[in-house]
Chain A
Amino acid sequence: MDIYAVGISYKTSPVEIREKLALSPEELTKLKNLLSFHIRELAYISTCNRVEFYYWGDEEGIEEIFTFLEEAKGIPKDSFKDYFYIYSSEEAVLHIFRVASSLDSMVLGEPQIVGQFKDAFEDCSKLGITGPIVNNLMSKALAASKRVRTRTGIGESAVSVSYAAVELAVKIFGELDKCTACLIGAGEMAELAARHLKDAGVKRMLVVNRTLERAEKLAEELGGEPLPFNRLNEAITESDIVITSTASQTYILQKEQMNEIMKKRKLKPIFIIDIAVPRDVDPDVEKVENVYLYNIDDLEAVVEENKRKRQKEAQKAEAILKEEVSKFMSWLKSQEIVPVIVSLRNWVEEIRKSELEKTLNRLKLGKKEEKALNAMTNAIVNKIMHPVFVYLKQESVKGDAKTLKETVKAMFALEDEHEDKDRNQR
């Protein structure tokens, strides 16, 4: 019995395969049928970048998953089998922890995966396909992911141009809810940046465009106020954040103009993001006091630098995960002995009860005395067995749980554990 991770991701397969194999909500409910002697406990996760199965069982389970997919999706398993990667034991645990910590993500450190992982885990436990081992595996994966997030800077700095713009705005203005932003011109990236700023809490949004109709339309989309192009200076004076992205061949904002504007602004800091090519803002504008000017190259350099930072942080994260994996593995090993401990305890308990009953029947004691005898025998049994159980758990973590199991079973003439039957009934 071991932990297995079977799946496909953006690394091993094209999106056409992944979308074909992702389970629909109705198919999800069928996952229960997948539980068998080979797959004791199961979890399933699918995002736009991956479709994965994690289970507690043995190797034959892999084939059962392929057969399940073949039947559910109606496509022959040979057509998708080769895209799958299969990890077992420690490697599987490491893979699962890496997925939860966003180390396996396309954008390193992106935060959505944590929520997706949590949801997948909840769905699976609602379906009743998880069990004690997979439950612990998933919650330890989430705990490891949280540790990675707080101990390293993996999710810290923005890795897209529009988010980098928002991050800079926050570093200049703090809370954005008192800020006014201004979008000059149009363009996909500019609009995206404006939208991100709006989401980050910008209070007011002005939209300036050469054609007022276009300004009105954009303003409506962004929840802003349209302004004609001849009121450009006025708009900039009122704004704290300016995004320019016009098709103008000349600078629309010069240094002299900016000096005037800053005087009117009483030197309040202003953040200008120039994503137009050719540039809209004279680079000399940057020399004006309290003006922070970033063009597209500057922002891209920031993004590159941040990506490099995340790579560096990822190394720290790997070290943390290694630690977490080994902790989990020793817990897992201690679990192997649990069934034997359970049957040993049951056996002892049965003896105690039957002997106690015999004695009590013979003695005809009062309720109080019966209670006292019961407590006493209980205490004796517990005191004798406690060090035995502790020893078994410790030794099991250290290594060979299998021989240990056999020895204990032989020593006390225990029958085969009931765990298999119990699990299959569920």
Chain B
Amino acid sequence: MEKALLTATLVLYAFTTLHYLVYILYRNEKVQFMCRLSLAAAIVLHSSTIVTRWVKSGHFPATSLHESLSIFSLLIAAGYLILELKHNIPVIGAFVSPLNLIFFLAAFFTQELPKPLPPALRSHWLTIHAATSFLGEAAFTLSFVVSVVYILQEREIKKKRMGFFFTRLPPLNKLDDLNYKILTVGFPLLTIGIITGAVWANYAWGSYWSWDPKETWSLITWLVYGGILHGRLTAGWRGRRAALFCIVGFACVMFTFLGVNLLLPGLHTYSSM
């Protein structure tokens, strides 16, 4: 049942991606409508798989690689849909949807049955900590995509080559503003995620902070994004510089999320949970 739902979701995400790619080529309003419709449908189906799992296992489904990837992908998709409805920037979808499809595919191929959680970790803190952290990371992913689009558009204008992207991509300032807005949502969420994590760690393991690799890298990520926002507010780091830093920030997010688990052993390793 869950497998069938996931497969249907995958098909819908692939369909959405295809339509966004067609959209950026032809910019047809009917195609844009199809993009939104299929993305919304994919999100509904995807949510249902996660809710099913949540009900079945009795805890927030973010305790295995599969669960984490799946929820991360859902939050990116939902976050993007909100952005698109609010700011009407469908060309960004042509960049977000393939990336999200990769995350979802990774989730799809790491499927496993939910494992029971050790009693020490059964807590409402899991829900709050994981939800806010993933929301923050999904926001940073969107910021990464917007930054990549900014860099592409900036290059076109600076090099004076009015090519494929110039006519299709949104204006620089609009992208810059959008990126800033996303960061002002993502940064507080990550902050809450780290604080709740520390509080929860104190309950579960008896210490707020134990320099576990995941904790360390979360802190690094937090510092990078804090630096970007600080630089923006005081020294006016905007445009290209901000976009480049957001790309670096995203690399940290990815390492915190995946690299730490796959390369460095620690308390957060999914198998040890």
Contacts and interface: CB of A to CB of B under 8 A. Distances in A.
A294 B235 contact: no
Contacts of A305: 162
Interface stretch (B32-40, B112-120, B237-245): B237-245
A268 B236 contact: yes
A153, A156, A174, A305: residue with the most chain B Cβ atoms closer than 10 Å: A174
B239 to A, nearest CB: 5
Interface string B37-73: 0000000000000000000000000000000000000
Interface of B: 153, 157-158, 160, 162, 166-167, 170-174, 235-241
A415 B269 CA distance: 95
Interface of A: 153, 156-157, 168, 170-174, 265-269, 286, 289-290, 292, 294, 298, 301-302, 305-306
A294 B160 contact: yes
A300 to B, nearest CB: 11
Nearest to A240: B173
A303 to B, nearest CB: 10
13 contacts: A157-B162, A171-B171, A172-B171, A172-B172, A173-B171, A265-B236, A267-B239, A289-B241, A292-B158, A294-B160, A298-B160, A302-B162, A305-B162
Nearest to B236: A266
Contacts of B167: 153, 156-157
Contacts of B160: 294, 298, 301-302
Contacts of A156: 167
A397 to B, nearest CB: 29
Contacts of A292: 157-158
A328 B121 CA distance: 73
Contacts of B240: 289-290
B235 A172 contact: no
A336 to B, nearest CB: 35
Contacts of B238: 266-269, 290
Contacts, number: 55
List the 10 closest A-B pairs by CB distance, nearest first.
Answer: A266-B236, A174-B171, A174-B174, A267-B236, A290-B239, A174-B173, A173-B173, A172-B172, A298-B160, A171-B171
A292 B166 CA distance: 14
A294 B166 CA distance: 15
What's the dominant secondary structure at chain A's contact region? mixed
A171 B168 CA distance: 10
Nearest to B158: A292
Nearest to A291: B158
B239 A171 contact: no
A168 B153 CA distance: 11
B171 A168 contact: no
B31 to A, nearest CB: 12
A318 to B, nearest CB: 18
Given A292-B158, A294-B160, A171 B172 contact: yes
A302 B159 CA distance: 11
A171 B241 contact: no
A172 B150 CA distance: 10
Contact of A168 (B157, B235, B239, B241): B157
A170 B236 contact: no
A289 B239 contact: yes
A174 B162 CA distance: 16
A354 to B, nearest CB: 54
Contacts of A171: 153, 157, 166, 171-172
Nearest to A302: B162
Contacts of A173: 171-173
A174 B89 CA distance: 12
